[in-house]
């Protein structure tokens, strides 16, 4: 190995060069290049934009209140009440409740509107079609003829116009059913997300209760989406889900599942106690 090759190694902090490297200078140069590449900082994906809520409540003729931060809004008087809540924990949700008063006070509306927008991305090797399960639980309840409501979940890839996910809750005027209660459920429906791409999640709901000159009205809306990389995907371990800052995606265990966990915890604790009591 030539003297200038030795000086090159000393410049990067290698003072003792193995004999095998001296015999094969090209192999030594390749090793040097690999070391230099490993020392370079890895490119990090840019943080996703923050989530943005917007929601409001109002009673006809008595004004309205609006908010641009997470939390709840409530408006109540003798004509009715309206409550809107937009939050991120234990996962993103929009919840609305409206109630109109007795019709003897005159015809009027109470209404609530909630919208939550945030971003999601599949992190990992770029350009891979990754199957993601999207579960969107939700429900609506309403009075017979004195309520109007709707809700939707849309997911659109950045710079694309057609939504990847477009799920609509039924509208009261669009045959919601006869029991005045309907479910909005998207149970582990699979969608392909391209890793590295940015997607915008839009969660929108609106509820209005009316007196209409006869009887009171009520309506409630609840929407709650959850994302999970399909565990059946062979390379699932190489990818992860990234969300806007503050967005939490912890699954909420069903009551039966929670009971089983508590029972198992109690049994394991009792078994450990018996082992400690043995001589």
Q: What is the pLDDT of residues 210-264, one digit of tens each?
A: 887 667 888 888 888 999 999 999 999 999 999 999 898 887 654 443 343 334 4
Q: Which of 110-114, 173-177, 213-217, 247-251 has the lowest mean pLDDT?
A: 173-177
Q: What is the pLDDT of residues 49-99, one digit of tens each?
A: 999 999 999 998 889 999 999 999 999 988 899 999 999 988 999 999 999
> In Å, how far are 47, 94, 117, 136, 154 from 203, measured between CA atoms?
21, 7, 6, 10, 7
For residues 210 and 100, the answer to whether their CB atoms sit within 8 Å is yes
In this prediction, residues 200-217 reach a mean pLDDT of: 84
What tokens does 200 get?
Answer: 């915008």
What span, in angstroms and rounded, lies between the C-alpha atoms of 186 and 165? Answer: 11
Q: Check residue 277 and give its pLDDT.
A: 43
What HEC string does 208-255 produce? EEECCCCCCCEEEEEEEEEEEECCCCCCHHHCEEEECCCCCCCCCCCH
What span, in angstroms and rounded, lies between the C-alpha atoms of 153 and 201? Answer: 7
Q: Is the pLDDT of residue 272 over 80?
A: no
């Amino acid at each position: 190995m030539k003297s200038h090759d030795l000086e090159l190694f000393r410049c990067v902090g290698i003072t003792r060069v193995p004999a095998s490297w001296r015999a094969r200078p090209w192999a030594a140069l390749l090793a040097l290049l690999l070391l230099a590449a490993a020392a370079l900082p890895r490119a990090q994906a840019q943080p996703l934009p923050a989530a943005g809520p917007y929601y409001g409540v109002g009673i006809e003729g008595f004004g309205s209140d609006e908010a641009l931060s997470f939390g709840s809004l409530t408006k109540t008087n003798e004509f009715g009440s309206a409550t809107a809540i937009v939050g991120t924990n234990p996962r993103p949700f929009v919840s609305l409740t409206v109630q109109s008063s007795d019709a003897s006070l005159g015809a009027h509306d109470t209404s609530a509107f909630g919208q939550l927008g945030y971003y999601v991305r599949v992190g990992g090797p770029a350009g891979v079609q990754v199957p993601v399960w999207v579960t969107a639980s939700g429900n609506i309840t309403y009075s017979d003829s004195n309520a109007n409501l709707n809700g939707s979940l849309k997911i659109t890839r950045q710079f694309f116009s057609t939504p990847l996910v477009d799920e609509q809750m039924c509208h009261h005027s669009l045959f919601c059913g006869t029991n005045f209660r309907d479910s909005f459920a998207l149970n582990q429906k699979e969608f392909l997300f391209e890793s590295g791409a940015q997607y915008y999640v839009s969660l929108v709901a609106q509820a209005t209760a009316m007196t209409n000159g006869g009887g009171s009205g009520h309506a409630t809306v609840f929407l709650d989406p959850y994302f999970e990389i399909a565990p059946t995907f062979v390379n699932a371990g190489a990818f992860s889900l990234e969300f806007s800052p503050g967005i939490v995606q912890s699954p909420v265990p069903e009551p039966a599942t929670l009971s089983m966990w508590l029972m198992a915890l109690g049994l394991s604790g009792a078994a450990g106690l018996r082992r400690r009591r043995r001589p």
